[in-house]
Amino acid sequence: MEIITTEFFQRALIGGLLIGITAPLMGLFLVLRRLSMIGDTLAHVSIAGVALGFLINVFPIGVGLLFALAASFAIEKLRKAYKTYAELSIAIIMSGGVALASLLFTMGRGFNVNVSSYLFGSIYTLGNEDLLVIAIVTIIVLVAVKIHFKELFLLTFDEDAAAVNGLPVKYFNIMISILTALVISASIKIVGALLVSALLTIPAACSLIIARSFRQTIITVIVIAELAVIAGLVMAGVWNLAPGGTIVMLLICMLILLLLVKRGFKI
């Protein structure tokens, strides 16, 4: 148990708690707009950015963020071109990101980059710099969502209605893309690019089962994600498990449990 008092564990906990707010929050908006796969895609593309960052020796997470931003705009453009096959654009950009990442990582082999720490996360190696980035991202996301809660609700509920009400829909779509890219690049070191999507989508899946109102839904996604982060980190620390994987498995367990409970009540 003494691992919990160590500095690297506490840093991991702080980072995890902050991401536990922002990731499910942005994820909820994506899920409700039927864009669940976007998180995965942006994460894969930002891995390519991280690889490039190592290659040219520039802050990897920062380059990853730029890549994620570029990808989110590309998806938005492609989404318009293939209106009824929106997921096609996501599949194309996701595989493109992975391809680019594998190329760049191979080129940078001499730099001895630890690829798996970005694919599966390495929350125990969070530095002060990383924590600062995560804290800033958290503040930006919370302020933006707080100010525009009403508009984000209407936009998510019915984009056409939002436009007819005179809302600048384009501006809000760009805002959601940027916030999502920010959250994803900040979470990569915590749960890893392969698992970011779980932190975005599973809390939303859980809350859709239990919450009645939109307000409840938002509270539920954050509570569920925080529970998983705290319990997952403690379990991983005590039993020496992979933290990212433990968090995601806990989320899935909660989802299954909720589904079973709901079924039980219905019968």
Partner 1 sequence: MKKGENAVTIQTAACHRDIVTVENVSFSYEQQQVINGLNFSIKERDFVGLIGSNGAGKTTLLRMIVGLLKPEQGKISLFGEPVSRFKNWERIGYVPQKNSFNPLFPATVREVVLSGLYGRSKLFSRITKAEAAKAEDAMHAMSIEDLAGKRIGQLSGGQQQRVFLAKALINNPALLILDEPTVGIDAETQEGFFHMIRHMHQHHNITFLMVSHDMDWIRSYLGQEPVQMNGKLKFYVKHSHELEDCVENDLTHSLKDLRKSMDRRASFVV
Of 211 and 241, which has the nearer Cβ to partner 1?
211
Q: How far is the CB of 34 from partner 1 (least distance, A)?
A: 8
- Using alpha carbons, select from 154, 193, 221 the residue that is nearest to residue 47: 193
Tokens of 45: 């593309």
Smaller CB separation from partner 1, 208 or 241: 208
Nearer to partner 1, 132 or 209 (CB): 209
Widest distance between CA atoms in the chain:
60
CB of 223 vs partner 1, minimal distance in Å: 15
Closest approach, Cβ 204 to partner 1, in A, equals 9
CA torsion, points 31, 35, 38, 40, in degrees to nearest 10?
50
Q: Of the two residues 127 and 168, which places its CB atom closer to partner 1 in the complex? A: 168
Pick 55 or 174: Cβ nearer partner 1: 174
Handedness of CA 251, 255, 256, 262 (dihedral sign): positive
**Cβ–Cβ under 8 Å, residues 262 and 206:** no
Q: Which residues bind partner 1 (CB under 8 A)?
A: 32, 34, 147-148, 150-151, 153-154, 156-158, 160-168, 207-208, 211-217
| Helix/strand/coil percent split, the chain, to 5 | 85, 0, 15
* Burial label, 131 (beta-carbon count in 10 A; 0-12, 13-18, 19+): middle
The nearest distance, CB 145 to partner 1, in angstroms, is 14
For the bound state, the minimum distance from the C-beta of residue 207 to partner 1, rounded and expressed in Å, comes to 7
CA angle (152, 154, 160) in 5-degree steps: 115
Which lies closer to partner 1 via its Cβ, residue 129 or residue 158? 158
Beta carbon of residue 160, minimum distance to partner 1 (angstroms, whole number): 6
- Would you tell me how many other CB atoms lie within 10 Å of the CB of residue 24? 30
